[in-house]
Every structure is written in C-alpha cells, then in structure tokens.
Amino acid sequence: MRINGTVSSRLKDLGAELRQGVSLTEKTSLGIGGSTDEILLRRYESIPEVMRLLADESIPHRFLGGGTNVLIADGELPYVVLHLPASQSGMSVEGNAAYVDASADLGGMVTFCAKRDLGGMEGLIGVPGSVGGALRMNAGAYGTSIGPHVREIELYRAASGELETLRGSDIRFDYRHTSFAPEDVMLRVKLELPRRPFKEILASIKVCNEKRRASQPLNQKSAGCIFKNPPGGSAGRMIDDLGLKGYRVGDAMVSDRHANFFVNAGNASCSDMLKLIDDVRERVRCAYGVQLENEVIVWQN
Ligand code: EPU
C-alpha cells in the first residue's frame, strides 16, 4: 500500500517518518514478507494523532515490532506498517526497577539489567525480538516469562485512541497470550526485578545459551516455535515423533534440529510456509487428536 503526498507531509508534521516501498523480507527473521510503505513513529506523543490521520484517510495499518514472530504474506501488502525505531536512551535502572522502551532489543535489556545486578530474566536471553513484542506475547523460555515482572506499561490504547499507563495487575499474562488488544502499541515498561550479583546472572545466562544452542536452529531463518505447546504436551516432540524433521514444502522446512521450528531454507514464500504449517497441523491432528494452535502471528492479507 502506498501513501500519497498529502498524507506524507502531514505525517512529517507529526514527527513520523515515511519510508516508501519497504521489503518486509528484510525485516523479519523468517526472511518472508511482501512490500509496503513503512511509518516510523519517532514521537510517542503524536501517535494518537498519527492513528487518527490513518483512520480519517482510511489507510489500513499494522504494527511491526522486531519481526521475529510473524509470518507475512508475499507481494504488495494492502496495509502500511508502523514501527517504533530503537532509541539511544531506551533503558535505565532505579533500585529494583528497570525502565525500558518497547523498541529495545529483549536480549540487550536482559544484559543491561544483569550488569546492574538485576536478574530474573535470564531465560529470555536468547529470545529474539523487541521488548514490546515480548510484552504482547508474554515471551518466555526456561521457566521465565516477562509478564510477572511488569509493574507499569505505557502504551497507545486502541480502545481510547490515547496514550495510557496501565498497571501490571491490570493486564492478564497467560502462556504466550495477553489481554492487550491487537491494535494496542506498547511504548515503555517498568519492570521490577530481583537483585542478584552479575556473576550469578551471567552463569545462568550461559546455561540457557548452551541449552538453546544445543536444541534450536539459531543460525537459520525462523520465527522460533511455530505452534504453542498443547496443555501438558510438546509440539516439537510430537512432530519429531512423526518423523517430520526435514519435511518441506518448497523452501519451507521443518528444522532438522528442533521440530517446532520451521525454517526458510532458501527462498520460501509465505504460501509455502502456510502449506507446511497446515500440513503438519493436520498430521498431528490425525496421529494424536490434538489441534495445534499457531504461536507465530500470521498476517494474511
Ligand atoms: N523435543 C523432541 N524433538 C524436537 C524438539 C523437542 O523430542 O525436535 C523434546 C525435547 O527433547 C524435550 C521436549 O520435547 O523433551 C521439549 O522441548 P524443548 O525443551 O526444546 O522445549 P519446547 O517446549 O519445544 C519451549 C518454548 C520455546 C523455548 C523452550 C525453552 C513453546 C512453544 N516453545 O519449547 O520457545 O525456547 O521451551 O524454554 O512454548 C518460542 O516461543 O518461539 C520458543 C522457541
């Protein structure tokens, strides 16, 4: 979708930068996605006005965070994407509280806090993506998830069309799911973290990194786990037990390292990946009677 000159100059007045004809293939960890215009939201205060402008002009839009947990359709996309560029001064610590911009890198945040003797997030170290994406999905790994540490979130709230501050207790954080509306935009978070000496945190981080390196295809293009684990089960083990490692549709392939990671082994298209997802889901349903739910967010047009 392309934005016209009038809207473009109004966006500029609001401190938002327009980038035309951006390929989302370059902006997603799967290396899959079509093209569209991108709006960089450089001034938080003007986000409500940018949203009103897009609504008034009937311009469909979606918010793209770190691009590490999303599968985007191919070709020219019928919506523009909004993105928060990472800021220089996005993190600070005061006592046991960490204040972090949603655009910050999640792993960078874990290390920043660790160096200031704040732990509790060690398991999240290798999870790729932004802090905002981690908040929205309640990212987790190795027994840690971000939700329980959240004390306050500043966000653009789609329901009111305004910037709001919510308390952590106002939000439901479940397994890879939260009570945020899909159009809410995370801006900044206050986390409360347990104090722990840097050396100890570093030792735990190393253990998590090693476990991850041993079991996940970290050097391949993926969106992490494709399916949520069913209650009490493991999607990866189920798919593996069906002998599907290495199974492919075009260049979309079930990782031969971890069967719940589907990788782009070359030039996979979105439709290849969707076919692979549906095919594997169906095989699991037939074999185990379990309907796997997507963990990856799919943006079909
Ligand atoms: N397993 C297999 N074959 C496989 C993969 C796994 O037999 O190909 C077995 C493992 O041996 C283990 C069990 O299945 O006994 C669980 O595997 P693993 O420890 O790798 O954890 P997982 O449940 O597959 C979850 C998260 C990961 C997170 C890890 C570590 C989900 C969907 N996945 O994976 O998160 O990194 O635990 O805590 O909850 C993600 O969210 O994208 C993600 C990768």
User: What local confidence, expressed as pLDDT, does residue 87 receive?
Assistant: 76
The predicted pLDDT at position 273 comes to: 98
Q: What is the predicted pLDDT for the residue at 116?
A: 97
Please report the atom of ligand 1 found closest to the CA of residue 261: 44
Asked whether 132 lines ligand 1 (CB < 6 A), one says no
Domain boundaries, the chain: 5-83, 91-199, 218-299
Mutating to test ligand 1, I would choose from 68, 215, 245 the residue with most ligand atoms within 8 A of its C-beta, which is 215
Nearest-CA residue for atom 41 of ligand 1: 225
**CA-proximal residue: ligand 1, atom 25 (nearest):** 141
**How many residues in total does the chain contain?**
301
**218-299: CATH number:** 3.90.78.10
Strands 80-83 and 61-63 turn out to be parallel
- Going by their DSSP bridges, the two strands 297-299 and 70-72 should be labelled as parallel
- Placement of tokens 């919506």 in the chain: 79
Q: Do 5-83 and 218-299 come out as alike in CATH topology?
A: no
Check pocket membership of 142 for ligand 1, CB cut-off 6 A.
Answer: yes
Structure tokens belonging to residue 25 = 């293939």
pLDDT of the residue at 88: 67
Pocket flag, ligand 1, residue 141 (CB < 6 Å): yes
CATH number of 91-199: 3.30.465.10
Q: How far is the CA of 211 from the centre of ligand 1 (A)?
A: 10
For the domain made up of 5-83, give the CATH fold.
3.30.43
Does residue 228 line the site of ligand 1, with CB under 6 A? yes
Q: What was the pLDDT predicted at 278?
A: 98
Bridge partners for 173 per DSSP: 178
Among the residues of the chain, which ranges form H helices?
5-13, 47-56, 106-115, 131-137, 198-215, 235-241, 270-288
Distances (CA, A) of 260 to 122, 123, 280: 22, 19, 10
Ordered per-residue pLDDT tens for the chain, 301 residues: 999 889 999 999 999 999 999 999 999 999 999 999 999 999 999 999 999 999 999 999 999 999 999 999 999 999 999 999 987 679 999 999 999 999 999 999 999 999 999 999 999 999 999 999 999 999 999 999 999 999 999 999 999 999 999 999 999 999 999 999 999 999 999 999 999 999 999 999 999 999 999 999 999 999 999 999 999 999 999 999 999 999 999 999 999 999 999 999 999 999 999 999 999 999 999 999 999 999 999 999 8
The answer, yes or no, to whether any atom of ligand 1 lies below 6 A from the CB of 213, is no
